[in-house]
Amino acid sequence: MWYLHLDESGDLGFDFVNKKPSKFFTVCILAISQRDSSFKIGQAVKKTLRRKLNKPKKCQVYELKGSSSTLEVKQYFWNQIKDCKL
């Protein structure tokens, strides 16, 4: 069985507030054939959010953003998933 993780970036040109929609809309799908690896990646995301991004008395972050994350956060996440078999 395949486990799919889907993410999108950009918009479809319907940004009526900003009036400057992005020129691109990108979809990325990560296909994983191992159930335990899929679970481990999900847990790594939760752990990274909890330990590195959601500090007390600050606003809550609900997703990892590659463009706004520091190198330290990216390395922390990578170190948790580097042994996953896709």
Average of per-residue pLDDT across 22-31: 87
Domain-wise residue ranges, the chain: 3-81
Task: Using a pLDDT cut of 70, give the percent of the chain over it.
Answer: 93
How far apart CA 84 and CA 77 sit, in angstroms, is 12
User: Per-residue pLDDT averaged across 31-39, rounded?
Assistant: 94
pTM confidence score: 0.77
Asked if 81 and 40 touch (Cβ cutoff 8 Å), the reply is yes
